[in-house]
Structure 1
């Protein structure tokens, strides 16, 4: 029988990370590990596929596993290479259609437009990247006032967080990704905890500043997304996106921003990730991008 070398190129979009993670973990549980500490190897790989989508895909798309499903064929070896398409972006025109009377629970005539969603999504992803970069470079090092310029994001947080540990910082980085994922699914990025309130606030600040400093770059980013009256209505974003979830007690004369500031000051940073009672809890096993 002849030996055949086959090259397969697949374009894949991850649409359900929890389902992908569960499938990858099931595969790893069934693998046989040889050598020193096989159970330690299994635990390490389980941890990797639980936190990294590329690792999860690698477990599921391994050549030996793929070939084993084809009758009459024996795997002679092979390699797997996975690369991320850098220019992928959600179709915000489809996700946030302007012709809809309501979008994600819009109140009155205001809506989250495709261009606003696109710019906000970009800033959330950028902040997540920067927060993970801070984590990779500084780990548990505290932020020092004289060295704030050495930090991309974490030095912008309230000073009481400057000495927080690595796990806390990693969870904070994930809040940007969580809100960006909401937008990528066509949902309004409604903060579900205090940490997400802070993350969305930073993204709105950066989106406003980028639009003011580099309007042409923003225009180029938008491509052929439709134009609308409510594009880049940052005050409207504050009014409509904040305060949907969260405690409604406290001083009724305070606006949402001031009420959030009071809660941030009164709550230890460890408690900033506790979901609001009226908000759906995010999947606790969703893992981290890094």
Structure 2
């Protein structure tokens, strides 16, 4: 005879016993590959929710706005424990929490995204100038770093004006022209997103060609910081590169300025001006509110792409 078991067996066991309470922990690694699709799904999920209390319509509108701007909020709406449990028959939710954090482990494969012409004797590029894997990697790192710092400025100072006395308390926004020091919070948030937009271009294997004046300023800062980091911490940069292939055009910042700026822009720009002079002229002639107007010959970025923070 087998040992006696206190746990009922068979298809009718659940009806004959008290329901078990189980705590389940699920850890997911997720990479967002289609933000518009994720945003649409999150908005649809919010539309299905029932809101109670004061101003249900206002609550719904606020959450719709949040999931439309923030990928983390969109994931939160779709991965909420109540929503996940509702899709499983035979159970009910007793409560739960959802925690979402951004991982730093993922990095684009720049060797694959920016392949080199390997016909040269030493594997170096031949022919026309190219954006190399190592240059793209360092530039991407600086753009992400600047975006993080700009968002930090925003969270710490909100819409406070920048002053000479407190200039050192700002990580990035005080480096912009003085005429921008009194700009409002939403403008500053768009500046932070400009760094991310260019970084996203690199993450997709595309050259970070500025499509508006704000992106020209963002790229200028990133190139300056990349040049400075390479000069002050060459070993740190070498460690960052890992096994990315070496090329003759690595860290050619003058080449970056020549090739990345001026692809898009006003048709009446003086062709005799170099990249720095051209951007300075545009900055002098353009009010900060106009920094985000897409150049006529450039493709407009998705207006619903949201913000990282």
Task: Tell me the TM-score normalised to structure 1 length.
Answer: 0.93
Matched, 1:55 2:73: yes
Provide Cα deviations, 1:33-63, integer angstroms capped at 9, x if missing partner: 1222211221221122122211111111122
Q: CA deviation at 1:80?
A: 2.0
- Name structure 1 gaps, 5 residues minimum: none
- In the TM superposition, what is the alpha-carbon distance from 1:285 to its structure 2 partner? 1.2
Q: How does 1:101-116 map to 2 (within 5 A)?
A: 108-116=127-135
Larger deviation, residues 182-191 vs 78-87: 78-87
Distance in 1 of aligned mates of 2:247 and 2:126: 17
Q: How far did residue 251 of structure 1 move?
A: 2.6
Deviations 1:92-119 (A, max 9, x none): 1111111489xxxx99521111111111
Aligned-residue RMSD, C-alpha: 1.9
- The question of 1:34 aligning with 2:24 is answered no
Q: Does 1:217 align with 2:236?
A: yes
Q: Secondary structure at the match of 1:289?
A: coil
Equivalent of residue 127 in structure 1, options 142, 146, 158: 146
What does residue range 4-23 of structure 1 map to in structure 2 within 5 Å? Answer: 4-23=22-41
Map of 1:201 onto structure 2: 220
Partners of 1:81 and 1:138 lie apart in 2 by 27
Q: Is the partner of 2:207 in helix, strand or coil?
A: coil
Matching residue of 1:228: 247
Unaligned runs of 5+ residues in structure 2 are 1-13, 120-124
Counterpart check, 1:259 vs 2:278: yes
> Which secondary structure does the structure 1 equivalent of 2:282 belong to?
helix
For the Cα contact (< 8 Å) 2:117–2:126, is it kept in 1?
no
Deviates more, 1:5-14 or 1:163-172: 5-14
**Residue aligning to 1:270:** 289
1:27 Cα deviation after fit: 0.5
Runs (4+) off by over 6 Å: none
SS state of the match for residue 144, structure 1? coil
Paired with 2:189 and 2:181, the residues of 1 have a C-alpha distance of: 13
The structure-2 alpha-carbon separation of the partners of 1:107 and 1:52, relative to structure 1 and needing over 3 Å to count, comes to farther
Structure 2 residue 171 is the aligned partner of structure 1 residue 149: no
Bigger CA radius of gyration: 2
Q: CA distance change for structure 1 residues 254 and 22 in 2, over 3 Å: closer, same or farther?
A: same
Q: Separation in 1 of the partners of 2:94 and 2:175? A: 53
Q: How does 1:20-99 map to 2 (within 5 A)?
A: 20-99=38-117
Q: Normalized against structure 2, the TM-score is what?
A: 0.87
Task: Name the residue aligned to 1:245.
Answer: 264
Q: How many residues align?
A: 286
Q: Which stretch shows the higher mean deviation, 255-264 or 212-221?
A: 255-264
Deviates most, 195-204 or 280-289: 280-289
Deviation of 1:71 after TM superposition, in Å, equals 3.9
CA distance in 1, matches of 2:41, 2:81: 16
